[in-house]
Structure 1
Amino acid sequence: MLHFDLPRLSAVCLIFLVAGTVKGVTGMGLPTVAMGLLGIAMPPAAAASLLILPSFVTNIWQLLTGPGFLALARRLWTMVAGITAGTVAGAWLMTNDSAGWTAIALGVVLVVYALFGLAARQLSFPARMERPLSPLVGVVTGLITGGTGVFVIPAVPYIQALGLDKEELVQALGLSFTVSTIALAIGLQRQGAFQLDDIGISGLAVLPALLGMWLGQHIRRRVSPATFRRWFFMCLAVLGLQLALRPIF
């Protein structure tokens, strides 16, 4: 069970406020930012347990507000199945790491995602490749999610390469993130790292996350999303390097 004193609980609320703000501006990034910042102060398994409810609440809203959930679910079901299987299996890596490799892996994933975001390159592939790629992308994403608590690689670049319109893209990302969150909760619970008692602590992070999303939506009207994303990815790269190199220095 997770235990927090008032200073640490205040820090957790501030982290989810920041992570929610990033999601409000960019439409993604809450789990990534939260895991990166929480990973500085606690083991990734504990950070992932805190992430469950805020991530689920914010992503289920994103999933259900799009125009074609059933069509997207039929199209992406093999990826979703791969994410589920990979995440549940990969949670073993996070909860059985005694050497600190999970924190290093988390840092590496953040750096890779940040560099991809800064490159701003749009991937593409022939339509015939979608059927074999979807389950593979799902399994790899799931293993990384289970091992680090970060949902984005390679699912986000893959979904962005599918040629979806703006509303479909947002909903497809919501589907991927929601499934990842549920599968991560199952995987952590199977390993004894997430219990029903932890839901209360995780639930406390929902309000600052939602408040952050509201703030982020207001910021988005006043600040160029492209500029914000660039600074976001630069900060994410620095954070990832700090996590990846901390055991060395």
Structure 2
Amino acid sequence: MGDSGYWITSDTDRFYSYDAWTFTKRELRPSERRLNWKREIIKAPWTRERLQNEFKALQFIAAKTTIPVPKVLRFERVWGAYQLVMERVNGKPLDRIKDNRTKALLNAEEFINTTVLPQLRSLTSCTIGALIGVVIPPVRITTHDKRGQWPAKVANTPIFSFCHNDLAQHNILINEDTLQVEAIIDWELSGYYPPEFEAPLWTRAWNEPGYHDIEADKVEDLICLLSDTGKQKRAR
């Protein structure tokens, strides 16, 4: 990255901007969103809730674990749109590491298995869902099941562990000098879920063959774990 810049991702309703010190992500304003064929605004599901959840999750992970995450500077509403302002982390996404890529992949794999996953799995709850009190399923579920609302499933014991739910290479920042993990970013979809929800998305880059097939055969099982009536509702 240079000293400043911005970009928009319409499919996830996000405007991103950065300078030498900060990184900001916010929800799109109506004028920035795409329109469907009826000229109606297209809005991604849980767009505001995802951003609110990441704000909570970054503070939670920083307080409860040693997993490196961006420091939250402020969460605010500007001209009707919520935005999350963080300290900028100067690492490079793992999927964009070209030099010494094998070493970077091995370091990331070790860090995830020895630090990230054990610490996340030590954080447990009796209730499924995000820290803000709603259930925001990961993308591999919402692409198959378009339900707009999910019940917060409750167990008798704390069997649900904290999951990032998008632990992919583009969300793992690497120090280009040491090739070690600098930070884990993008916690919008995180929350308490069955441990099976943490798919090994870090094993392939999003544009590599097979990425979208990672545990694709488990989606129906995950839907059933998320909701006792998953299969029945999917069949309708």
Per the TM superposition, whether the score is higher than 0.5 is: no
Structure possessing the higher relative contact order (Cα contacts under 8 Å, 6 or more residues apart):
1
* Larger radius of gyration between Structure 1 and Structure 2: 2
Q: Which has the higher helix share?
A: 1
Higher strand share: 2
